[in-house]
Amino acid sequence: MTFNDIFKSSFLDSVTEFSVIDTCLGLVFALVIGLFIFLIYKKTFTGVMYSSSFALALPGLSMVTTLVIMAVTSNVVLSLGMVGALSIVRFRAAIKEPMEIVYLFWALACGIVIGAGMIPLAVIGSVVIGAVLLLFANRKNRENPYILVLRCRDEAAEEGALAQLRGYIGDFSVKSKTADRDGIELTAELRLREDSTAFVNRLYESDGVESAVLVSYNGEYLS
């Protein structure tokens, strides 16, 4: 038997057949789970800038992966060609948040599992992963991180402002300090258990304090 006899055999003709119902069912489940991943990502997002394009790419990625896996599992020749085609593809999209990698792999894994026909595994796994992410996201931000920028006239005013700040919020961490002829600028990281920021007004009213600025930030971006 030669290679021509192998490729002319009826085996390849039989494996190219696919079920329209199974294909539509798999794509529908991929869309539903992809939308579920999209909602979890939107609910748990804690970054600086929310990317709607990345969020909408999650359902699309799940469906495209499902379609590719269905094609690979239904045709031997196509699976070999698909491996060669995907090996030359390079993705250069910037990942802004570490958690975005989790959602990308989640969407890819669900597409692979659904394309392989294991729909219950994809559903159960997505529910468990979504519950874990929601649980940790709700516990993450019990204290709000802030950066306080104080502009003081001299060292005495600085010490008085820091003592007053320690009495208002307790512990804080000094991140930077700049001293010049115009005065002293101090940057401190602090966390508030409540949403009240009235202490900033009291600091500004202190003797020797020229300005007091409170800025909210994501604590993961500063060390």
pLDDT score for 94 = 65
CA 74/CA 68 separation, integer angstroms: 10
Arithmetic mean of pLDDT, 119-132: 92
pLDDT tens sequence across 43-65: 888 766 777 888 888 999 899 88
pLDDT tens sequence across 2-59: 545 544 555 455 445 567 888 889 899 999 999 999 999 988 887 667 778 888 889 9
| Extents of the domains making up the chain | 3-140, 144-221
∠ CA 163-140-221 to the nearest 5 degrees? 70
CA 205/CA 59 separation, integer angstroms: 53
Split at pLDDT 50, 70, 90, the class of 88 is: low
pLDDT score for 21 = 85
- DSSP-assigned states of every residue in 6-68: HHTSSHHHHHT---HHHHHHHHHHHHHHHHHHHHHHHHH--SSS--HHHHHHHHHHHHHHHHH
pLDDT score for 223 = 36
Please check the confidence at residue 190 and state whether its pLDDT lies above 90. Answer: no
First to last CA, the chain: 68
pLDDT score for 145 = 77
Arithmetic mean of pLDDT, 144-161: 86
pLDDT score for 207 = 85
pLDDT score for 75 = 63
pLDDT score for 80 = 59
Neighbours of 212 (CB within 10 A): 20
pLDDT score for 222 = 38
Task: Return mean pLDDT, the chain.
Answer: 79
**Fold annotation for 144-221:** Alpha-Beta Plaits (3.30.70)
Split at pLDDT 50, 70, 90, the class of 221 is: very low
| β-bridge pairing 173-180 and 183-192 | antiparallel
Arithmetic mean of pLDDT, 103-122: 90
Tell me the percentage of the chain whose pLDDT exceeds 70.
73
